[in-house]
Amino acid sequence: MSVNQMEELKKESCTLACPVGISPQGYINLLKCGKIDEAYDLIWEKNPLPSVCGSICHHPCEDVCKRGTLVDSPIKIRALKRYLSENKLDDKVTSYPVIHQEEIAVIGGGPVGLTAAHVLAKRGYKVTVYEAAAEAGGMLLKGIPSFRLDKDIVRKEVKRLEESGIKFVFGAKVRPTDIEKDYDKIIVATGNSISKGLPIANSVCKGVMNALDFMTKVNSADQVTLYGNVVVIGGGSVAMDTARTALRLGADKVTVICLECGSQIPAHPWEIEETQEEGIQIISGVAPLRFEAKDNAPPHCLSNIVYTTIENLDCKTFTYDPIGEEMVLSADFAIIATGQRAEPQYITGDNIILAGDIVNDTPSVIDAMGSGHDAAIQIDKELRGREWKEYELEREMQSGDPKYRIYPAVRLKKAFPEIRKIKDRSGFDMVEQLMSDEEALLETWRCLECGYREVDIEKCIGCGVCMRVCPKGDVITMVPVEEQGGNK
């Protein structure tokens, strides 16, 4: 590794990579010391959906984990978060005291709305979440299949937020103009609820549907039966989840076709791997040309998808050159998973902030939550007249002398257990299994303790090692600065 590459590595850390700014190194160290409650609290302080993220976050923290870059494979941060938080779901939550007179409304109870509401409630604001559906959770309940995210987990984490003092109004589809006179600030976090569709011939054939409608039906326990050949069109996470769901609903054969090839495919590598593991074929670098019906008269049941190979794909505009011959895939059902978009937008005003999928280019739970967190901080900043730098301080990283880092853990090259998965994938049980106590503890020992959060560089780098190594035992405890009378 070159000096330049090493210098670049010094700028990366799990903490900086997390859009909501939680510190994996902190809670992994606390878990290593057996301080499970403190470890959980450190996560919950900034992330009100730890079990959700422990199940389905795309873990940008692991992408920059130096254990992965320098030694063997990244620490399983997501799985550790799930281990830590699933045991705490039923613990009682203390309500945050209201200390400010301003009232905030959040429209949309998905991950963004829930995160923003939590940040604001924690900072002492009275917050009301308006949710169009009968319960909060957004795509966590409607979109993501339960073999990847247990719905009970979502419901329990939402309940914890209700207990923390956030008010929810369900079945309330509102516009900012309906409620603006009652609130000082409004966050709009209404997500992307419309499938983009596919402008090719015969899209109205019986058997052609869009992924969001399909997943919403499946998740609402509506009877959905598939059979024969199912073709899913799209190469993103939604396409992979849809294909795996179709297989579980009775399809004999599921095929995914997508424009992109290799590393261009937008789904994460592990999603592609799991999809293929389940026997689903992915045909990449091809474009659908038209749907063909079995008959000329209604109901025009789908029989084939005609497609061709392509080149010169522009992944931003989705333009490409078709090359090669027409090919045919037999299909009883086609599910279009070519992206989602928001409902036409509301007018923005000084007191209205948009957040989450409706404004993010990268639809993912943790990026959406990061956006909700930032929207809430923006409101606090405006209402309390604070400077950005007061908030930014928390996210700075200060590299220490390398000779004091990359330590004993490097030498600890044991055979560490992989995440266990269930064998029978025919149903909707969670595929990934929870880590055992032994596996979780062993995994914490792999942390190199290199990505720390600055507290006071002269005195403390916030890594938590002192707590573990102190010969006097349990005398050192990390406490947030505010408890010491600071202003962060």
Ligand X SMILES: Cc1cc2nc3c(=O)[nH]c(=O)nc-3n(C[C@H](O)[C@H](O)[C@H](O)COP(=O)(O)OP(=O)(O)OC[C@H]3O[C@@H](n4cnc5c(N)ncnc54)[C@H](O)[C@@H]3O)c2cc1C
Does residue 299 have a cis bond before it (omega within 30 degrees)? yes
- Whole-angstrom Cα Rg for the chain: 24
Q: Cβ closer to ligand X: 212 or 467?
A: 212
Question: CA 63, CA 84: separation in Å to the nearest integer?
Answer: 21
Q: Which residue has the tokens 């969670």?
A: 430
Q: Cβ closer to ligand X: 74 or 462?
A: 74
Q: Work out the burial of residue 388: count CB atoms within 10 Å of its CB; fewer than 13 is exposed, 13-18 middle, 19 or more buried.
A: exposed
Q: Which residue has the tokens 């409304």?
A: 105
Q: Cβ closer to ligand X: 110 or 207?
A: 110
Smallest gap from Cβ 113 to ligand X, in A, equals: 6
Q: How far apart are the first and last CA of the chain?
A: 38
**356 lines the binding site for ligand X (CB under 6 A):** yes
Q: What angle do CA 183, 189, 191 make, to 5 degrees?
A: 155
Question: CA 212, CA 215: separation in Å to the nearest integer?
Answer: 5
Question: CA 288, CA 253: separation in Å to the nearest integer?
Answer: 18
Smallest gap from Cβ 280 to ligand X, in A, equals: 15
Q: What angle do CA 14, 429, 424 make, to 5 degrees?
A: 105
Q: Which distant-in-sequence residues (6+ apart) come within 8 Å of 181 by Cβ?
A: none
Other CB atoms within a 10 A radius of the CB of residue 44 amount to: 23
Give me 368's structure tokens. Answer: 């959406």
Q: Which distant-in-sequence residues (6+ apart) come within 8 Å of 403 by Cβ?
A: none
Q: Which distant-in-sequence residues (6+ apart) come within 8 Å of 63 by Cβ?
A: 17, 74
**395 lines the binding site for ligand X (CB under 6 A):** no
Q: Cβ closer to ligand X: 267 or 465?
A: 267
Smallest gap from Cβ 278 to ligand X, in A, equals: 16
> Most distant CA pair in the chain: distance in Å?
84
Binding to ligand X (CB under 6 A) within 87-126 occurs at 107-113
Give me 46's structure tokens. Answer: 């900034």
**246 lines the binding site for ligand X (CB under 6 A):** no
Site string for ligand X, 306-345 (x = CB under 6 A): ----------------------------------------
**363 lines the binding site for ligand X (CB under 6 A):** yes
Q: Cβ closer to ligand X: 30 or 337?
A: 337
Contact 326, 223 (CB under 8 A): no
Q: Which of 131, 380, 439, 449 binds ligand X (CB under 6 A)?
A: 131
Q: Which of 161, 215, 258, 376 binds ligand X (CB under 6 A)?
A: 215
- Give the binding range for ligand X (CB under 6 A) out of 43-51, 85-93, 185-193, 309-317: 185-193
Q: Cβ closer to ligand X: 152 or 437?
A: 152
Smallest gap from Cβ 180 to ligand X, in A, equals: 14
Smallest gap from Cβ 412 to ligand X, in A, equals: 31
**354 lines the binding site for ligand X (CB under 6 A):** no
Site string for ligand X, 419-438 (x = CB under 6 A): --------------------
**58 lines the binding site for ligand X (CB under 6 A):** yes
Smallest gap from Cβ 391 to ligand X, in A, equals: 21
Q: Which of 51, 164, 190, 255 binds ligand X (CB under 6 A)?
A: 190
Q: Is 48 helix (H, G, I), strand (E, B) or coil?
A: coil
- Give the binding range for ligand X (CB under 6 A) out of 135-143, 179-187, 413-421, 477-485: 135-143
CA dihedral 215, 221, 223, 227 (to 10 degrees): 40
**138 lines the binding site for ligand X (CB under 6 A):** yes
CA distances from 14 to 43, 57, 67, 86, 124 (A): 13, 14, 11, 21, 29
- Residue 368 CA, chain-centre distance (Å), reads 7
Give me 24's structure tokens. Answer: 């994996």
Q: Cβ closer to ligand X: 3 or 347?
A: 347
DSSP-assigned letter for residue 294:
S
Q: Cβ closer to ligand X: 257 or 365?
A: 365
Smallest gap from Cβ 260 to ligand X, in A, equals: 18
Q: Cβ closer to ligand X: 432 or 443?
A: 432
**352 lines the binding site for ligand X (CB under 6 A):** no
* CA-closest candidate to residue 146, choices 421, 429, 422, 423: 429
**132 lines the binding site for ligand X (CB under 6 A):** yes
Q: Cβ closer to ligand X: 51 or 309?
A: 51
Site string for ligand X, 139-178 (x = CB under 6 A): xx--xx---x-----------------------xxx----
* CA-closest candidate to residue 245, choices 225, 273, 261: 225
**19 lines the binding site for ligand X (CB under 6 A):** no
Binding to ligand X (CB under 6 A) within 193-212 occurs at 212
**127 lines the binding site for ligand X (CB under 6 A):** no
Q: Cβ closer to ligand X: 54 or 110?
A: 110
The residues binding ligand X (CB under 6 A) are 56-58, 107-113, 130-133, 138-140, 143-144, 148, 172-174, 189-191, 212, 215, 237-238, 241, 356-357, 363-366, 368
